[in-house]
Amino acid sequence: MATLIKHGNQYRSRIRKWNGIKQETTTIPLRTNKKDVAVVRHHSVEKAEKHIKEGIIQKHQFDDYFEWLNDEGTSTLKQITIKDAIGAFVKAHSVNVSIGSIDRIEVSMRCLLNVIKSDTPIKQIKTADIEAFKMHYNTIHRVSGINLNLRNIKTLLRWCVDEKMLEHMPKIKMLREPKKMPKYLSEENQRAILDADNVSNFMKRVFYLLMTTGCRRSEVVDGTLDGNILIVPASVSKSRIEKEITLNDIQSKIVKEVHIKRDSHLLSGYQIRNFKDYITKSFQKACSRVGLKGFNLHNLRDTYAVMHWITSNDIYEVKNRLGHTSVKTTEKYAQFNIDRLAQDFPSAYQIRLEVEKVRENAVSTQLISTQFDDIQ
């Protein structure tokens, strides 16, 4: 909290900040010897204190932000640009949001800056700007992609209101998005990719790993391997909870190979994001080469979920396997027609029939045993 102090006959505001090593002190002269005037000016400093500590407002900018420090007698205290606001927003959320989510937020922010000039004061952002954003990307991005960007922009602006950078929240209306069933790779489509001559063996193994574990791309790339356990830290996990995924020997071997490739990319000067994009684009190319259209990397996770739903016939088991916090997120996988799934996944469906037969036999045995107990 900023402190009002008096040095000689002049008042000052003092801000202290711990930088991890030592305490830093910033002193802002209030240029008055009258306490009532000093209190008013000190209040302006208090409003800006958080932004001063975060580096949004720097010392060389004080003359512009506090009217009593410049000759014009004007203040631009609230003229924080949208670029400044985005920088502070991303920094503040990096602590509590997964790496993958931060990457996606940054993509949304770059899209926003393609439409709104970076030096635009954040307080000038209006609903009309959001509508212009939607119009700009309407023919470029899918509705789902635009809505994802809008949700991130909405989070940004709500945060700006909370941080007193913005007085009112502009109205943001999502585009109407038709509900679609998840896309999956049938057993035939899986074989087409895994048997393709024009897809690298490394990528085939990565696709196999994602399809047989249900892991997200970031979980495999950013997780750590301990024996046959893939440990996904809370900073990477979408649920913000550390989780452990049990792998078999083949899956563990593939994760090790992915990490070797990842480290090689990093040593070559690439960022981790580049390696993740490399995996995503490789899958899209693989699908294109075998004639599959409209698929994305996440569909491998969808495929795992559908196959596990078929074999287990237990939506809560699928929920736990995927790490969903609510079964409502998982229920979409139980909406498929079982006859269609039997055609697309004959091997998985055969397992389902065998499991059901075992369960029926177990129930029958239990009933007979109970009846026998009754007549003894």
pLDDT at 102: 83
pLDDT at 93: 79
Single-letter amino acid, residue 221: V
Q: Which residues of 300-339 are buried (b: 16+ CB within 10 A; e: fewer)?
A: bbbbbbbbbbbbbeebeebbebbbbeeeeebebbeebeee
Consecutive 10-residue averages of pLDDT for the chain (376 residues): 88 88 89 84 85 84 80 53 87 73 89 92 90 91 91 92 83 86 94 93 96 94 94 85 92 96 89 88 94 94 95 92 90 92 94 83 60 52
What is the rounded distance in angstroms from the CA atom of residue 187 to the CA atom of residue 191?
Answer: 6
pLDDT at 240: 77
pLDDT at 365: 59
DSSP codes of every residue in 191-214:
HHHHT-TTS-HHHHHHHHHHHHH-
Model confidence over 70-111: pLDDT tens digits? 755 444 444 678 988 898 888 877 766 667 788 889 999 999
Helix (H, G, I), strand (E, B) or coil at 55: coil
Note the maximum CA span of the chain.
104
Is the whole model's pTM more than 0.75, yes or no? no
CB 82 within 8 A of CB 120: yes
241: which DSSP letter? Answer: S
pLDDT at 43: 84
What CATH code would you report for 187-353?
1.10.443.10
pLDDT at 368: 57
Domain boundaries, the chain: 3-69, 100-162, 187-353
CA distances from 370 to 70, 141, 282, 361 (A): 92, 62, 57, 14
pLDDT at 41: 86
